[in-house]
Chain A
């Protein structure tokens, strides 16, 4: 007891192994729904590594939120149940552990430079199959789609070549096979 004087709470540092998971959340596209989801994560101390949201069915007014999060298996189970408690949430699917899913992220990457560096940036963009969306005599804007790791790798390669800024969408995901979520 001497380890935690002055508190009636059970104070302990848990060092359980955290796993990363991608959740797909189908919600009614009503005012404040994103705030409910984000507020849930911040209020209960859950991690958000990335979050994307957009309307997916205009007639049904449904949006799909993709959240990459991490936690112990117990925490991940809680996150899922807590999301399901939100009134506008239709369904929550774990695309990492429950059903196998595919993940993609898109990034816009601005690189400025001249001479050898400019040529090298262009050459590497071909290797990564990035598209050039905008160019001037001294800059490129690349569009790159792929896994988070692929984008991380490309961004790292651009750093010595004149990387100016990066804008990323965060992960979107969908399950494999014929079934809807």
Chain B
């Protein structure tokens, strides 16, 4: 039974958040969450970051989560508050980011009556969350709050939604703490099957042309997984590539590193994947942007696939050995068994394989034609990297060409430093993500590498950055086009540039000033370094309008459902074989 001394539903929410160590939440108030905002007002322990649009709250929480490893928390109202959060929830589901999103709902007696700001939030968010709840009884609220954090953060992480009607926020019930959460049906498996791991390590030792192919799962698993991956890769001496989501798990400066793979991955990474005899996939999910044409994907290899989600194994590509488990646990077992069995790689085969890879590297697939009049976007990222690499830097991106150039030219040495929308490809992700990252890391340098089209989708969050003194740097590669759309139209649609040119761009410098931020513009290569230094030295939010070559394409590229060995390279790459022939394939 509940009494007047018991907390209200709103107070239960705040207490549960604090019990789960939540320090920051991203949100936007509205009628159906006012009781929770009231409880928040009377509480000192949690800082609320007021965004300008609920989508911004979800991306900020994603940036916060990915850069810390802790769940991001979102608080929005019913109806439009919840529907605006849907993009960010879907993004978090695709990229396995732990989010706890609390939505207000109309009072229980009004549900189904088409009440003001009513939406079927659990219905709408069911396919874009890992799980969701509508709390009809305040007595269930403490349990649901704890379950929500447990489900969001364990197994394959993901977003959850707790929809709380306004009357439930007012009602009272005893608070129960989060001890010993054990769910009766949800019990993710973390330890891999030892027999399969044993089989895997023997295959790894016997391989002649092996390659590690790792993904975001290694980063999600935590620092131990990264450390063990590095140890195992160095022990074997095998080459390693990674997905967009996995960048930073293995240091880009290491000689075994091949660069990113996939549609805009490096020549050496994709050809190593195509030509390998053993693929060791860890925390990666054989996304179509990685595999290209499936029936020609790495045709002569055995595949070992380690993933915490059983449904990822054999989904797109058949695994010869599929190991369900957390990367850290599986890698630990792999290293232990490797040592116990005193396994050694085949040195002579490996050196022949490395020679072949070095031949591919010599193509210098990321080469581009430098210019003295106009800033090349690749050059801008290279300079940004050189001028920030010694610092405590976090990078987020929007989606498109600039994102791929950032992945190719910014070199990540550590995990959780690279935040990008991979699975969903959400334009407008990067700016609010930077807000969230900066909240989590107040003293660090946080840069959103952006495009002028993407950044306008969530531009209003610069106002959030100004309000909360978050000195994020928005580095816009401004080519006046939706660059990736223009590139595809050029390569795949006969140069018909249908609606991909921005006829009316704002003056980003004046826009920054209007928001109370700092605007900087660079138009010439020789002024770029000084302007970037200016940007870094300003301790305020900056919109950096980097005016770049309008017609630059992002290469290498695997075109139109082609295979890894059918990449097109840019004109500047050393590529005697794939020039005219490559263009015909498009």
B is bound to A = yes
Interface size on A, residues (CB 8 A): 28
User: Would you call A88 and B560 a contact (CB within 8 A)?
Assistant: no
B492 near A6: Cβ-Cβ < 8 Å: yes
Cβ-defined contact, B134 with A31, below 8 A? yes
Q: If A9-B288, A81-B311, A85-B309 touch, does A1 touch B185 (CB 8 Å cutoff)?
A: no
Interchain CB contact (< 8 A) of A10 among B134, B288, B309? B288
List residues of chain A with CB within 8 A of the CB of B344: none
A111-134 Cβ-contact flags toward B at 8 Å (1 or 0): 000000000000000000000000
Distance (whole angstroms) from the CB of B430 to the closest CB of chain A: 22
> Is B292 on the interface with A (CB-CB < 8 A)?
yes
A6 to B560, CA, bound (A): 7
B423 in the interface, Cβ–Cβ < 8 Å? no
Report the minimum CB–CB distance from A80 to chain B (whole Å).
9
Q: Assess the A35–B123 pair: CB atoms within 8 A.
A: yes
Check: A11 CB closer than 8 A to any chain B CB. Answer: yes
Q: Is A28 an interface residue (CB 8 A)?
A: yes
C-alpha gap A146/B559 in the complex (Å): 54
Indicate whether A90 sits within 8 Å of B311 (C-beta atoms), given known contacts A1-B562, A31-B134, A32-B122: no
Q: Is the CB of A87 within 8 A of B493?
A: no
| Identity of the chain B residue whose Cβ is nearest the Cβ of A74 in the assembled complex | B314
Is the CB of B151 closer than 8 A to any CB of chain A? yes
CB distance from A109 to the nearest CB of B (A): 35
User: CA separation between A12 and B310, bound complex, in Å?
Assistant: 25
Query: Considering residues B123, B185, B289, which has the most beta carbons from chain A within 10 angstroms of its beta carbon?
Result: B185
Q: Are A43 and B560 in contact (CB under 8 A)?
A: no
Residues of B contacting A4 with CB < 8 Å?
Answer: 560-561
| A159 → B minimal CB distance (Å) | 39
A32 to B127, CA, bound (A): 12
- Contact status A89-B562, CB under 8 Å: no
Contact B311 A85 (CB under 8 A): yes
A7 adjacent to chain B (CB < 8 Å): yes
Given the complex, which residues of A lie within 8 Å of B176, measured CB to CB?
none
Also in contact, A10 and B292, with CB within 8 A (given A36-B126, A90-B185): yes
Contact residues in A for B130 (Cβ distance below 8 Å): 87
B152 to chain A, nearest CB (A): 11
Contacts of A8 in B (CB 8 A): 263, 289, 488, 492, 558-561
CA distance A23 to B126 in the complex (A): 22
Against B, the Cβ 8 Å flags (1 = close, 0 = not) of A59-99 are 00000000000000010011001101101111000000000
Distance in angstroms between the alpha carbons of A32 and B131 in the assembled complex: 11
Whether A100 sits at the interface, judged by CB under 8 Å, is: no
Are B185 and A10 in contact, CB atoms less than 8 angstroms apart? no
Of B288, B289, B314, B561, which is within 8 A of A1 by CB?
B561
Min CB distance B313 to A, Å, is 8
A28 near B184 with CB under 8 A, answer yes
CB distance from A47 to the nearest CB of B (A): 18
Contact with B185, one of A5, A9, A12, A28 (Cβ below 8 angstroms): A28
A62 to B: closest C-beta gap in Å: 10
Partner of A39, one of B126, B183, B311, B559: B126
A4 to B586 CA separation, bound complex (whole angstroms): 10
Known contacts A10-B292, A12-B295; A1 and B560 CB within 8 A of each other: yes
Whether A88 contacts B185 in the complex (CB less than 8 A), given A5-B492, A6-B493, comes out as yes
Whole-angstrom CA separation of A35 from B123 in the bound complex: 8
Q: Which of A31, A36, A87 has most chain B Cβ within 10 Å?
A: A87
Residue of A nearest to B122 (CB): A32
| Residues on A with beta carbons closer than 8 Å to the beta carbon of B367 | none
Give complex CA distance A6, B263 in Å. Answer: 15
> Taking the complex as formed, is B302 at the interface, i.e. its CB lies under 8 A from any CB of chain A?
no
Q: Known contacts A8-B488, A10-B292, A32-B126; decide if A87 and B185 are in contact (CB<8 Å).
A: yes
Question: Is there contact, CB below 8 Å, between B126 and A1?
Answer: no
A1-B311 contact, Cβ under 8 Å, with A87-B151, A88-B185: no
Expressed in whole angstroms, the minimum distance between the Cβ of A2 and any Cβ of chain B is 9
Residues of A within 8 A of B131 (CB): 87
B116 within 8 A of A: no
**Chain A residues near B295 (CB-CB < 8 A):** 12
Please report which residues of chain B, range 136-195, place their CB below 8 angstroms from some CB of chain A when the two chains form the complex. Answer: 136, 151, 183-186
Query: Does B126 lie within 8 Å of A78, measured CB to CB?
Result: no
- When distances are taken between beta carbons in the complex, the residues of chain B under 8 Å from A7 are 492, 560-561
Q: How far is the CA of A6 from the CA of B561 in the complex (A)?
A: 10
> Residues of B contacting A82 with CB < 8 Å?
311
Which B-chain residue is minimally distant from A83 (CB atoms)?
Answer: B311
Is residue B294 within 8 Å, beta carbon to beta carbon, of the partner chain? Answer: yes
- In angstroms, Cα B311 to Cα A84, docked, is 9
Q: Write the residues of chain B forming the contact surface with A, with a CB cutoff of 8 angstroms.
A: 122-123, 126-127, 130-131, 134, 136, 151, 183-186, 263, 288-289, 291-295, 309-311, 314-315, 318, 488, 492-493, 558-562, 566, 585-586
Nearest 5 interchain pairs by C-beta:
A81-B311, A10-B561, A87-B131, A1-B585, A6-B492
**Apart from the given pairs A1-B560, A5-B560, A36-B126, 8 other A-B contacts in the complex at a CB distance below 8 Å:** A10-B288, A28-B184, A31-B136, A32-B122, A35-B123, A39-B126, A39-B127, A74-B318
